[in-house]
Each structure stands twice: as structure tokens, then as C-alpha cells.
């Protein structure tokens, strides 16, 4: 079952003569439960693609279909709610809210939607990510790996249709990267969670089920 599908997705910047084709006709499908890596060098358009997959940005043309809904033409507010209910984000720089403790950060997307919290599930995530001792701590007192694990937990909290990870280990040392990635992979398996991760690093990408290469805004399946 396709959880995510893009149809001839294009994103152009600038005016006619100096047009920049950040994404130029991408067709991509992601299966439910798949852990997909999008690999590309910086400037290849991988971040732009991810932003459009997650509804952070609108495409110039083409469609992004997530769980059967075309999100490419939604308004700002609709996109916000779409993200809240369907997308989990893991960013390179963790992006936890400094004024909330880790637990509050994890359940924040649920609170934003006024949802009840599935305590058992959240506890399971926290345990899996080895964050039991850190729940009450503020992000500033956590290591990078712990913060990123927190971010993963936050992304999982809403049981989203898809988790988008943008260079999740970009700010971590190699050892922590390996552990965080292992956990990411483990959670994807355990909760049958679909994950799309972008990275420039083949060593990281090899852990995924499938690798897609992007260059100059186009996808090369090899």
C-alpha cells in the first residue's frame, strides 16, 4: 500500500531566464512501513523534496499524495493541521522547545491537537529510546544524541502516517549517529512506521530498506 506518492513533482525558484529547478519532475512512491533514504549531495534538491513531502512548502506543480490525500494545494492552515496529524519531523538540529521538558516536548504534538495521550505507547517509545531517566529534564541539559532521540520520540508520538528525517545525524558524532540511527530503524520496524530520511551519507543510507538518489532535482533509482 502506497503511503506516499509524488506525481511529476516540480519546484522552481526564480523568474524565467534565471530559473532554478530545485525539483524537476520527481515520481516517487513509498510503501507503508518502508524505511527509505533519499541520498544526494547538498544542493541536489533533497531538502526541498522533503519539505514538500512534509507539507512545509507548496510545489510549483505536480502532486504529493499522502494516505490518499493530495496535499500539494492545501492552504497554510490546512497544511499545519495536516502536519500535526500525519507527519513527524526529525530535524538535523533537534529543534526541541527549550522551555518544555523532554516529556512535554514529546507529547507536544498531541497537546497541540488536544488529543488524549496514549500513555502506554509513549512509555514504550521512551523506553525503547532509552529516555526514561531524562523525561523531566530540559533540552539544554541533554546531550545531542539524547535530544535527537527525544525528537524521534516526538515524531513517533502521534503515530503519524510518515516520519520525515532531515539529516537526523548531521549534528552528531559517528558513534552517537550509529546508535540514533539504529534506534530509528528499530522503531520503524517495531511500530511499522514509514520513514523517509534524507542524507548525503551512504554509510547511513545503507541501513534503510531502500535508497533513492537525487541529483539536480531528479531521481535516479539504481
Partner 1 sequence: MIANNNRKIIGKLASRSVKFHKTRNIFVLITIVLSVSLLGVISLSQSAREQKIKKQLGMVQHVIYENANKEQVDELKAIDEIDFLTLAKHGSSFKLENKLIRPVYFEKDTKSIKKKAIAEGNYPEKLNEIVIDRPMLKLFPDAKNIGDSIDIKFLDGREEKFVISGFYEEENENASIYTILFSKEYSEYGEQLKDVPYTVLCKIENADTMSEEQFLNTINKIGKDAGIERKNINPNNFFTNSLSLSKQNILAIILVSIGILFVSILVVYSIFYISVLENIQRFGQLRTIGTSKKQIKAIVRREGTIMFSLGTPIGLLISWIIAYWIFPEGWNWKYTIILSLIIAIAEFITIIISVQKPAKVASSISPVEASRFSAFGDKGLKETKELHRKLSPFSMARVSIVRNRKKSFLTLVSLGIGGALFIMSTTMIVSTSLEEYSRQGLYRHGEYIISFDYNAVQTMENGLTGVQLKNSINEELIKKIKSIQCVDEIVKSQRTSIKYDYKDVVNNEDYISPFTREDIDIINKTLVEGAFDYDGMIKNDEILITQNDLAQEVYGWKFDIGDKVNFRYFDGEKEVQRSFKVIGSIDERRFTDNYSMFLVPIEKLEQLFPSINTIDALVISINDFEKNGDKVEESLRNLIYENPLLGMDTLRERLAEDKGNFDRINKVIIRLSSFIILFSLINLVNTIITNIISRKKEFAMLQSIGLSNKQLVRMIQFEGLSLSFGNLIITLIFGTVLGYGLIRVLQYFGANYMHYRFPIGYFLMYIIIIVMVPMLVSGILVRLFQKESLVSRLRYGE
Partner 2 sequence: MMNRDFFEMGSLIIIGAMYHVFLILYFYNIRLLLFSLIFYFAIMLIYYYNKKKTVNKYMNFINTLNNSLTYLINRDYQRVNKLQTLDETFDSKVNQKILQLSEIWQEESLRGLKEKENLQSLISDISHQVKTPMTNLRMLQTALAKEEISKEEKEKLLKSMEGQLDKISFLLESMIKSSRLEIGLIQLNKIPSNLFDTIAEAIAGIVVKAEKKNIEIVVDCPESYILPHDKKWTAEALFNILENGIKYSPYNTKIEVKVERWEMYTKIDIIDEGIGIPEEDFGKIFKRFFREESSYNVEGVGIGLYLSREIIQRQEGYIKVASIIGEGSTFSVFLPNDL
Task: Tell me the closest approach of the beta carbon of residue 220 to partner 1, in angstroms.
Answer: 24
The closest of 32, 78, 36, 35 to 55, measured between CA atoms, is 78
- In 10 A of CB 205, how many CB atoms? 20
Contact call for residue 178 and partner 2 (CB under 8 A): yes
> What interhelical angle do 144-157 and 174-190 show, nearest 10?
20
The set of residues, in sequence order, having a beta carbon less than 8 Å from that of 213 and lying 6+ positions away, is 38, 39, 40, 219, 220, 221, 222
Calculate the CA 184 to chain-centre distance. Answer: 11
Nearer to partner 1 among residue 84 and residue 218 (C-beta): 84
Nearer to partner 2 among residue 21 and residue 85 (C-beta): 85
Report 23-52 residues binding partner 1 (CB under 8 A): 51
Contact letters (x/-) for partner 2, 62-91, by CB under 8 A? -----xxx----x--xxx-xx--x------
Nearer to partner 2 among residue 22 and residue 83 (C-beta): 83
The closest of 9, 27, 32, 8 to 209, measured between CA atoms, is 32
By CB atoms closer than 10 A (0-12, 13-18, 19+), residue 75 is exposed
Contact call for residue 11 and partner 1 (CB under 8 A): no
Kindly tell me which residue out of 21, 32, 63, 135 binds partner 1, with binding defined by CB under 8 A.
Answer: 135
Using CB distances below 5 to 8 A depending on partner kind, what does residue 67 bind out of partner 2, partner 1, none? Answer: partner 2
Kindly tell me which residue out of 14, 117, 121, 202 binds partner 1, with binding defined by CB under 8 A.
Answer: 117
Output phi, psi for 11, to 5 deg: -140, 115
Cα–Cα dist 153/139, whole Å: 13
Contact call for residue 178 and partner 1 (CB under 8 A): no
Using CB under 8 A as the criterion, which residues of the chain lie in contact with partner 2 when the complex forms? 1, 32, 37, 67-69, 74, 77-79, 81-82, 85, 113-115, 130, 145, 159, 161, 175, 178-179, 182-183, 185-186, 189-190, 192, 202-203, 205-208, 211, 222
Using CB under 8 A as the criterion, which residues of the chain lie in contact with partner 1 when the complex forms? 51, 54, 56-57, 76-77, 80-81, 83-85, 88-89, 91, 93, 95, 97-101, 103-104, 107-109, 111-113, 117, 135-138, 140-141, 154
Amino acid at each position: 500500500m502506497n503511503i506516499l506518492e509524488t506525481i511529476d513533482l516540480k519546484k522552481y525558484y526564480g523568474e524565467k531566464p534565471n530559473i532554478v529547478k530545485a525539483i524537476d519532475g520527481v515520481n516517487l512512491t513509498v510503501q507503508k512501513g518502508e524505511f527509505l533514504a533519499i541520498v544526494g549531495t547538498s544542493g541536489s534538491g533533497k531538502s526541498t523534496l522533503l519539505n514538500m513531502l512534509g507539507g512545509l512548502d507548496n510545489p510549483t506543480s505536480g502532486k504529493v499524495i499522502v494516505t490518499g490525500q493530495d496535499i500539494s494545494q492545501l492552504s497554510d492552515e490546512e497544511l499545519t493541521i495536516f502536519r500535526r496529524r500525519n507527519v513527524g519531523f526529525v530535524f538535523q538540529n533537534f529543534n526541541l522547545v527549550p522551555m518544555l521538558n523532554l516529556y512535554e516536548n514529546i507529547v507536544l504534538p498531541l497537546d497541540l491537537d488536544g488529543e488524549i495521550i496514549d500513555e502506554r505507547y509513549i512509555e514504550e517509545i521512551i523506553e525503547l529510546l532509552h529516555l526514561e531517566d531524562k523525561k523531566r529534564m530540559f533540552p539544554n541539559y541533554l546531550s545531542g544524541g539524547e535530544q535527537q532521540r527525544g525528537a524521534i520520540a516526538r515524531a513517533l508520538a502521534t503515530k503519524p502516517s510518515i516520519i520525515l528525517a532531515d539529516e537526523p545525524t548531521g549534528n552528531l558524532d559517528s558513534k552517537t549517529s550509529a546508535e540514533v540511527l539504529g534506534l530509528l530503524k528499530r522503531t520503524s520496524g517495531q511500530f511499522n512506521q514509514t520513514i523517509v530520511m534524507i542524507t548525503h551519507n551512504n554509510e547511513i543510507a545503507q541501513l534503510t530498506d531502500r535508497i533513492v538518489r537525487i541529483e539536480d532535482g531528479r531521481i535516479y533509482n539504481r
